[in-house]
Amino acid sequence: MARGSCVSLNGRRMTKALLFLVGLLLVLSYGSSASAESTFYLDRLKIGGSPDDGVAIWRPRMKQETVFFGQAALGWQHRPLRGDTVMNTAGQPNPVQDQFTTYFTAGLQLVERLSLSVTLPVVAFQSGSDPCRAGDASCEHKDLNQVVPGDLRIDGRVIAYRSTNRKFHLGAALIAWIPTGDKVSFTSDDSTTFGLQVLGEYDFGKVILTGNTGLHSRPHNGFNAFRVGTEWTWGVGGFIPLRQGDYRLGLSVFGSTGLVDAGTTKNALDGSTVFTKRNTPVEWMGEFRMALGRKKAGWAGAAGGTRMSAGYGAPDVRLLLNIGYAFSLSDAGPKAPPPAYNLEYEEPVYSDRDGDGIPDDLDKCPDEPEDGKPPFPDDGCPAPDVPDPDTDMDGIPDKDDACPKEPGPPNVDPKLNGCPQFIRRVEGSTEIQILKRVEFKTSSTELLPESFPILDEVYALLSVNLDVRKVSIEGHTDSRGSRPLNTKLSQGRATSVMNYLVNKGIDADRLSAAGFGPDRPIADNETADGRQQNRRVEFKIVAQE
């Protein structure tokens, strides 16, 4: 597969998904009544759809790499619009009794700073009763369409500030609602509306607190004695990550209130909508979320809650299930081609009198088995009686040494006999593996004494392996703190290690030191374990015979 083909494939998949979404929108939008009086958009849940969002709270967090993401959710609301809210007499039937809503989201995150997404809500079923008495001409009678789309939501988000320790995040979101819903069945405001949100979050370690607040500019709309208009919206949430983010518990409280005076609007029951009972919906929701797969690219969750006020759109009970997936843009490696043909052959028959695996016609000693010892380990003859070689000069013969090129102490375990305790040089690899971290004083280039045994083993390995002509000592840090400071610190630590080896007796021409700061992480800097792995010193073989 050619370089970049994976990107093209993912792009085609995303294009197909968007075309399907548009097609679904057109089908569901067809047939909405254009002549009946408009109602308003009832659902007060601005569902989150990005990989790190809560159900009802938008988090100012984005992936470090560029990703496409998608989510599907199904929610049930019981009594989201009560008769007492829209009529001036108590005990009226509920215009919307039960409502099942699906939410489809697709989006893109870029460079850990920008995000763009589209969400289409679709009411799969809703039921309700006409709140008007028979023959009451002054009351607006209502007969709901059961299956209708909602207004299409387009979100653009930006991370405006991120602290150096990555605990505090501040962002903003610009939202547009496109009137694709059914204006007579409480799923549309019947015009394009806009919202602006401020998103903030602080990570306390075991608990993450998130808040949203902003304005939603809406036209004056309503039903019978109830009216809506421009609103102030808000929400706060707390999240508890478990098992390094595999699971997450959350609790959110969100709501809104009107900012306009509807007293001059026909049939308006209330004047000002600011903090009035009908125009101030408040809900709470608890949620559970789990990561899917080893790479945590997918997620699934469940949430539920109730209303805390009698405002419109806040149901007596709300339940929701969601599932999503995010994939990054990366090149895919080429696949091996299938074999063009298979060869079949018969095993040749040969004579081997001494049973050493070397045919008699090639065996210089056909009646004496080969012992595999130097100086001629494959000529068919046993080696002359000479002392067993000890390549790494650690006092353990190569035949008993599990690591014949790496000096190490004796060990009763044959697999560890003659092997160093803290380092490994894997055959064919260009890296000298460090099994125990090289330690320094905090924020310093000074080596701690517990690092000396590790570096002594590196010294011993380089002393007996003169075929290793050049080794690069590379220092790395995590992402906390400024990049210039981390780069300087990693360079100083790599130089300290090099000086230690030179002072032990290694030729300085065989060594070099380089610091890369936070630029080459091997683990997730969002976790304490990942940051600890990223603070490291590596030894790379850059030249050998």
pLDDT at residue 434 greater than cutoff 90: no
pLDDT at residue 268 greater than cutoff 60: no
Match 């090129």 to its residue by tokens. Answer: 405
pLDDT at residue 392 greater than cutoff 90: no
Considering 24-33, 138-147, 261-270, the range whose residues carry the highest mean pLDDT is 138-147
b (16+ CB within 10 A) / e for 83-105: bbbbbeeeebebbbbbbbbebbb
The tokens for 418 are 């003659």
Sequence-distant (6+) residues with CB within 8 A of 463 are 407, 505, 506
Distance CA 477, CA 241 (A): 25
pLDDT at residue 32 greater than cutoff 70: no
Q: What are the structural domain ranges in the chain?
A: 5-29+37-82+94-128+145-328, 352-386, 423-544
Q: Parallel, antiparallel, or unpaired for β 423-425 and 317-328? A: unpaired
pLDDT in tens, 66-78: 899 999 999 999 9
The pLDDT confidence band at residue 271, using thresholds 50, 70 and 90, is low
Rounded percentage of the chain residues whose pLDDT exceeds 90: 49
pLDDT in tens, 449-463: 999 999 999 999 898
Output the pLDDT for position 78.
96
Average pLDDT over residues 494-523: 93
pLDDT at residue 523 greater than cutoff 60: yes
Q: Which helix (H) or strand (E) is 257 found in, with range?
A: strand 247-258
pLDDT at residue 85 greater than cutoff 50: yes
The pLDDT confidence band at residue 135, using thresholds 50, 70 and 90, is low
Q: Per mean pLDDT, which range of 47-51, 293-297, 334-338, 351-355 is the poorest?
A: 334-338
Output the pLDDT for position 1.
44
Give 175 or 274, the one with higher predicted confidence.
175
pLDDT at residue 9 greater than cutoff 70: no
Provide the edge-to-edge strand list for the sheet that holds 423-425: 423-425, 431-434, 536-544, 468-476, 511-515
The pLDDT confidence band at residue 35, using thresholds 50, 70 and 90, is very low
Match 């401020």 to its residue by tokens. Answer: 198
Query: How many angstroms separate the Cα of 313 from the Cα of each of 45, 58, 153, 284?
Result: 8, 19, 17, 13
Considering 92-96, 425-429, 502-506, the range whose residues carry the highest mean pLDDT is 502-506
Q: Per mean pLDDT, which range of 345-354, 362-371, 495-504, 529-538 is the poorest?
A: 345-354
Output the pLDDT for position 7.
42
Distance CA 24, CA 277 (A): 37
Output the pLDDT for position 391.
82
Output the pLDDT for position 296.
84
Q: Per mean pLDDT, which range of 179-188, 243-252, 392-401 is the poorest?
A: 392-401
Average pLDDT over residues 187-193: 91
Nearest to 203 by CA among 248, 240, 157, 161: 240
The pLDDT confidence band at residue 138, using thresholds 50, 70 and 90, is low
Nearest to 233 by CA among 221, 219, 216, 218: 216
pLDDT at residue 252 greater than cutoff 70: yes
Output the pLDDT for position 247.
93
pLDDT in tens, 279-307: 999 999 999 999 998 888 899 999 999 99
Q: Per mean pLDDT, which range of 9-13, 219-223, 413-417 is the poorest?
A: 9-13
Give 4 or 497, the one with higher predicted confidence.
497
CATH of domain 5-29+37-82+94-128+145-328: 2.40.160.40
Output the pLDDT for position 334.
56
Give 133 or 425, the one with higher predicted confidence.
425
pLDDT at residue 221 greater than cutoff 90: no
Output the pLDDT for position 168.
95
pLDDT averaged over every residue in the chain? 85
The tokens for 378 are 């494959």
b (16+ CB within 10 A) / e for 333-342: eeeeeeeeee
The pLDDT confidence band at residue 488, using thresholds 50, 70 and 90, is very high
The dihedral sign for the CA sequence 294, 297, 302, 308: positive
Output the pLDDT for position 134.
58
Residue type, 435: L
The pLDDT confidence band at residue 345, using thresholds 50, 70 and 90, is low
8 Å CB contact between 523 and 533: yes
Rounded percentage of the chain residues whose pLDDT exceeds 70: 86
Average pLDDT over residues 340-355: 69
Output the pLDDT for position 137.
63
The dihedral sign for the CA sequence 260, 264, 266, 267: positive
Give 36 or 356, the one with higher predicted confidence.
356
Output the pLDDT for position 270.
60
Q: Where are the beta strands (DSSP E) in 363-412?
A: none
* Domain 5-29+37-82+94-128+145-328 identical in fold to domain 423-544: no
pLDDT at residue 322 greater than cutoff 90: yes
Determine phi and psi for 283, rounding to 5 degrees: -135, 160
Average pLDDT over residues 391-410: 85
Q: How far is CA 527 from the centre of its chain?
A: 12
The fold of 423-544 is 60s Ribosomal Protein L30; Chain: A; (3.30.1330)
The tokens for 503 are 């002072």
Sequence-distant (6+) residues with CB within 8 A of 416 are 402, 408
Distance CA 202, CA 408 (A): 49
8 Å CB contact between 55 and 303: yes
Output the pLDDT for position 347.
63
